Amino acid sequence: MHSPAIPELAQEDPQIAGLIEDEARRQYEKIRMIASENYVSAAVLEASGTVLTNKYSEGYAGRRYYEGQQFIDPIETIAIDRAKELFGVAHANVQPYSGSPANLAVYLAFLKPGDTFMGAGLAAGGHLTHGSPVSVTGKWFTPVAYGVSRETGIVDMNEVRDLALKERPKLIFCGGTAIPRTIDFPAFAEIAKEIGAILVSDIAHIAGLVAGGAHPSPVGYADVITTTTHKTLRGPRGAMILTTEEYATPIDKAVFPGLQGGPHNHTTAGIAVALKEAAQPEFRTYAATVVANAKALAAGLTERGWDLVSGGTDNHLILADLTPKGVTGKVAAKALDAAGIELNYNSVPFDPRKPFDPSGIRLGAAAITTRGLKPEQMGQVAQWMDDTVQAAAKGDTDEYARIAGQVRELMAQYPMPGWA
């Protein structure tokens, strides 16, 4: 059953309570490898489900527009202080509702409509808010997209520099949503300095790895850092913006009153708890194991003939082109879900297929590491994945149930926060 238990909800609204229980069981029984998902601790769950959701708190600590902030201000201040200490930054804003509003606040702080900026193209692993034509960032501003090398699948920093010198963007984004390799923050910083641009590092996917010392930090290189608080950081669904003192005021004004009203105080409390957890020595072990698991899984897939973008991974994330396997990413993702393995279909660089039916899949090792899986289990996971994809290519749907049963047996050996 869901833990903490939800008896009041079960009595008041059994339909919703039943769906929550079903979802908790689903998370418990499956190998969850959507790269943007994880499991929060029971403590984060408890903090996020408190009476703090009842309180409205427009403004910032000591400067609110409503009364009754005697306990809210300390909670937000604690979250800010923990973020500053964990990442080694001068200023932190913990109010953004999610990663996309956090990135939008950056645009509002530093650009005017029509201004030019640079970011990784969507097909090269960038996020929608890095200038995709379907995003407001691609409609209101002038995006210039950099990509990856066709030969290596990795960003060519010489090409980024040439493009920056030609287009002279006011702002450069580095980072993204499907980048399996280490981000070269020093090289991006050098380019931004050369053209007088503000460098923004979007570390939504790797924030936990940065905090745990398993990925280089952008601090000292990027002027502004945006991140979600879930994914590898293992917090609730929220976001933060980390900056130098120089940019603290424009960022704060952009978040509130520029984009948002009152922060979600229950989420802020959950973020504070997650940041305390991320500062513990065992979190560094967790971050290192995430990378070790991802590398072991990448090796297992490569041994079975999978075509991995860039040839592997340096972080938690793997991007695979399934064209050689004879299935599309969408077909494979749905087959794997039926087999108890959860991930998402995803475009790959230079993908000839459309985003809603692309050639690839994206997966990550953050959540399975939280459950306790180790590199020695990754060979079996790779085998299940390969068996499932081969079955999908043959139309052998009976194979899915067999693999799903074996997956349930494996995951039953590992406890899950949120399920008892």
- Identify the pLDDT of residue 108: 98
Among the options 161, 237, 334, 408, which is catalytic?
Answer: 237
User: How large a percentage of the chain has pLDDT more than 90?
Assistant: 100
**pLDDT tens readout for residues 250-304:** 999 999 999 999 999 999 999 999 999 999 999 999 999 999 999 999 999 999 9
pLDDT band per the 50, 70, 90 thresholds, residue 50: very high
Q: Is 228 a known active-site residue?
A: yes
b vs e for 294-314, b when ≥16 Cβ sit within 10 Å of the residue's Cβ?
A: bbbbbbbbbebebbbbbebbb
Main-chain dihedrals φ then ψ at residue 86, nearest 5 degrees: -65, -40
Domain boundaries, the chain: 46-279, 289-412
Tell me which of 56, 77, 284, 353 is the catalytic residue: 56
Which of 32, 231, 330, 362 is an active site residue? 231
Q: What angle do CA 373, 375, 378 make, to 5 degrees?
A: 80
The response to whether 245 counts as a known ligand-binding position is yes
- Domains 46-279 and 289-412 belong to one CATH topology: no
Complete edge-to-edge strand list for the sheet that includes strand 224-228: 91-93, 239-243, 224-228, 198-202, 171-175, 116-120, 142-146
Amino acid identity, residue 261? G
| Averaged pLDDT for residues 97-119 | 98
Total-model pTM: 0.97
The H helix count followed by the E strand count for the chain is 16, 15
* 231 annotated active-site: yes
What is the model's pLDDT at position 375?
A: 98
The per-residue pLDDT of the chain, averaged, comes to 97
**pLDDT tens sequence across 317-366:** 999 999 999 999 999 999 999 999 999 999 999 999 999 999 999 999 99
Q: Out of 29, 202, 342, 399, which one is annotated catalytic?
A: 202
User: Residue 261, annotated ligand binder?
Assistant: no
Set 37, 46, 58, 156: catalytic member: 58
* 126 annotated as ligand-binding: yes
Whether 284 is catalytic: no
Is 128 annotated as contributing to ligand binding? yes
Question: Is 127 a known ligand-binding residue?
Answer: yes
- Measure the CA–CA gap between 410 and 313, rounded to whole angstroms: 25
Q: What is the CA radius of gyration of the chain?
A: 22
Pick left, alpha or beta for residue 104 (phi over 0 → left; psi -120 to 50 → alpha; otherwise beta).
Answer: alpha
The CATH number that domain 46-279 falls under is: 3.40.640.10
Q: Which pLDDT belongs to residue 190?
A: 98
Q: Where does 289-412 sit in CATH, by number?
A: 3.90.1150.10
